[in-house]
Structure 1
Amino acid sequence: MLSSPHVTEKATGLSEKNKYVFKVFKPATKPEIAKAVGSLYKVEVIDVKIINIPKKKRRSGRRLEGWRKGYKKAIVRIKEGQSIEVLPR
């Protein structure tokens, strides 16, 4: 269900509030994501919010046009006092 951690400046700021952002596969549902994060990182998931990012048109040069793929991301809130080590320091 989880594709990869979504590491951005905003996602790093959310981690201070016990919220972590992951890219997930399109057919994934909230209960499946909560179960996957809970079992993979050994934490208790409180809430999952899902955001569908649409595909966007991109251009290279004057004529060559294409599409950047859309994706789905999940913001997972975990129990107070627990944490997830997304990137090893």
Structure 2
Amino acid sequence: MKTRITLVRPLYTEKMAGQQEALNKYAFQVDRDANKIEIKKAIETKFEVKVKSVRTMNLSGKMRQQMTRQGRFSGRRPNWKKAIITLEPDYKLELFDNA
């Protein structure tokens, strides 16, 4: 297995907060080259939980424009990958709990 950081950062949105409570799902930004098996192993070893399923999606970066003295500068944010993790019913991530 390649040695690299698979999990980049957790994603916490209003939609994911609802799914976290109701469906036991969590979202993470992951390395673009990581596959579902590597993501599952990384979650299970880092948080000591049992993962039921992993769903991934590749997202394209947003277009950005900036006005400068020389004119308009167009750029693009980098493409990234999102993984939605479903945990087994007995497990919970304490990552987002404030209590």
What pairs up with 1:35-74 in 2 under 5 angstroms? 35-61=41-67, 63-74=72-83
Percent identity for Structure 1 against Structure 2: 36
Runs of 4+, deviation exceeding 2 Å: none
Per the alignment, residue 91 of structure 2 pairs with 82
Report the Cα offset of residue 88 of structure 1: 5.3
Letter in 1 for 2:91: Q
TM-score by length of 1: 0.91
Give the length in aligned residue pairs.
Answer: 89
Q: Structure 1: give runs of 5+ residues left out of the alignment.
A: none
User: Aligned-pair distance for 1:75?
Assistant: 0.2
* Alignment match, 1:33: 39
Structural RMSD (CA): 1.4
The CA deviation string for residues 32-70 of structure 1, in whole angstroms up to 9 with x for no partner, is 100110111111001000011112211123612110111
Q: Distance in 2 between matches of 1:41 and 1:56?
A: 31
* DSSP-derived class of the 2:93 partner: coil
Higher Cα Rg: structure 1 or 2? 2
